[in-house]
Amino acid sequence: MKSKIFVYLIICSLLVVTGCESDKEFLTEKPRTFFTLENAFSTPAQVDAVLISCYRLTRQNQVISSNTSRILNGLGTDVLDVPELRIGTTFSDYARLNPTHGDYNTIFNKYYDIISKANTALYAAELENIAWGSDQEKNYAIAQAKFFRGYAYRSLGMLFGGVPIVDAIITYPKLDFVRSSTIETYQFAIDDLESSVQYLPEKSTQPGRIVKGAAQHFLVELYIAMGIEAEEEGKSGESMYDKALQIANQLIDGGTYSLMTERFGTRKDQVSNWSGTADVYWDLFQEGNVNYQDGNKESIWAYQIDFTAYLSEDSQSKIEYPRDYVPLLRLVEGMTGEGDDVGGRGVCFAAPTMHVRDGVWEGKYNKDNRNAEHNIWRNFKYNDPTHPKFGEPYPWSEYYKTDYNRSMVYPIHAKVTTDPGTWTGLQQGENRSNLFRDEYAVRLAETILLRAEIYYRKGQLQNAANDINLIRSRAKAEYMVTAVDVNLDLILDERIRELYIEEDRWHTLLRMRGTVAVDRIRKYAFWPFTRTSLTWDFNKWPIPQGAIDRNIDAVLEQNPGWTQF
């Protein structure tokens, strides 16, 4: 027993001596039950998981049903507003819109969330313990991260102007951010996207993954924006427009992408069950047709929606367009239900302005396949079996007989719903609230309209008209525009005809600076109170007041037009 005690004391003494010699090592934490920046990443798959979160956040912002996606699509602009019964959720009452408004803060923070994830991926990709299979694999991971960071700063610059540049992980409380200029913000985005282009593939076998064309598209947009900013400062934007044109030509004429001009895809031999007609524009929005890998040479980048994933693990893998954008036809006399003949279970969170419904199609612009019945549903019938006019056409004079009705009843763009008899998920309990097709993030038609804008800004009006007519020819439009027709209003209207619900409308209007946004809003906003409450000019959203207030060790300047609050 004594001998055991003696041995025990010797061991303890040795431990004390050893401990005294290596206190620093002993006190250094080596956590094995939670992740830190140092131990969270050990494989390329873990880096890719962070990149996938960038894809997820971007998809969530842009297409997953939320007030954010509706705002970015143009809520409160010349294209969208809300019905009277949702008037409290409008984004167009300037008696309520000020720097403290929560939607500005939400959108501002969501883009910084993407930046944070991208910075994490860039940090992790360079860790020495990551065993990349090849330089190509590593470079592609870095290129995707830089793409998303550049994309986020592109968005922040267009919406908010110059913002703080965060180019690395921040591991300590920081309360002294300073704003870069708008041009510096754009330049940072350009640098990231140009860096990514050289390592992004021309094509991908995996739908939804970033390819070179997506970065090129946003570079075109950014160089146009840089040219506009230069002109705002009294300088020439010509060199920026030339750079934008160079990249646009590479993308449009490079041979990888082309406008779809012939029927294609899953329903190429079918017609719309709604109208008995169809065309190639209608094909673009059919389930199974959206990805480049589906044979759609016009699709540059698409957000991925998968019904199987929705059922098993990804509850966000859906597009709630029928809920968001389909009218409340059941609330008018003689109409009932939530079925195929009314576009699904419409809840009408956002409604097209009268300019979208009718204005862009007036006069010589009327005859256009994008305005045909299979692409915009207008001919509804009384569908209440108890109504004496059951089965007869429902006149629009009845729909619009009150302002209340007019705000919630309108034609249905076929791209926000699906044909009678073609709903996915009814067998599994779905109720015509959701679509389960992929959705465009970038489509070549938009790049062509960007090139038309470049030509307009360079004064080459016939070239601009030629590009617009590429789109109009595909639509079998009767009227082809001429150089005399070309101005910003024509370009913005053509974007509505082609890209309604697809484009980031607020980005488009605000990046044009000047009074383009407020002029269009005052002219085409749905509600009179928008015009009466918008008593000042702005071409940038306000920096959220919360971001300004939290930044106690430096001043974040507010944008012009919003300093009176």
Residue spans in the chain of domains classed CATH 1.25.40.890: 40-82+90-199+525-565
Q: What is the pLDDT of residue 222?
A: 98
Tokens of 3: 């001998």
Contact call for residues 272 and 414 (beta carbons, < 8 A): yes
**pLDDT tens across 118-154, in order?**
999 999 999 999 999 999 999 999 999 999 999 999 9
Could you tell me the pLDDT band of residue 7, with boundaries at 50, 70 and 90? very low
Architecture of the domain spanning 40-82+90-199+525-565: Alpha Horseshoe (1.25)
Tokens of 116: 């944070």
pLDDT beyond 70 at 494: yes
CA pair distance 342, 211, nearest whole angstrom: 38
Sequence length of the chain is 565
CA pair distance 316, 12, nearest whole angstrom: 58
* Cβ atoms < 10 Å from Cβ of 378: 14
**pLDDT tens across 370-397, in order?**
999 999 999 999 999 999 999 999 999 8
Residue spans in the chain of domains classed CATH 1.25.40.10: 205-316+436-503
Burial of 198 (0-12, 13-18, 19+ CB in 10 A): exposed
Rg (CA), the chain: 27
| Residue with tokens 């131990």, as numbered in its chain | 39
Could you tell me the pLDDT band of residue 201, with boundaries at 50, 70 and 90? very high
Q: What is the pLDDT of residue 398?
A: 86
> Percent of the chain beyond pLDDT 70?
93
**pLDDT tens across 65-121, in order?**
678 999 999 999 999 999 999 999 999 999 999 999 999 999 999 999 999 999 999
Which CATH number does the domain 205-316+436-503 belong to among 3.20.20.140, 1.10.10.10, 1.25.40.10, 3.40.440.10? 1.25.40.10
pLDDT beyond 70 at 325: yes
Q: Global pTM?
A: 0.93
238 Cβ contact list (under 8 Å, min separation 6): 227, 458
Distances (CA, A) of 167 to 98, 225, 522, 528: 29, 22, 38, 43
pLDDT beyond 60 at 177: yes
**Of residues 219, 95, 115, the one with CA closest to residue 164:** 115
- Please state the rounded mean pLDDT for residues 353-370: 98
> Percent of the chain beyond pLDDT 90?
89
Tokens of 88: 């409290």
**Would you call 317 helix, strand, or coil by DSSP?**
coil
H-helix or E-strand spanning residue 3: helix 2-21
| Residue with tokens 């702005």, as numbered in its chain | 538
Could you tell me the pLDDT band of residue 414, with boundaries at 50, 70 and 90? very high
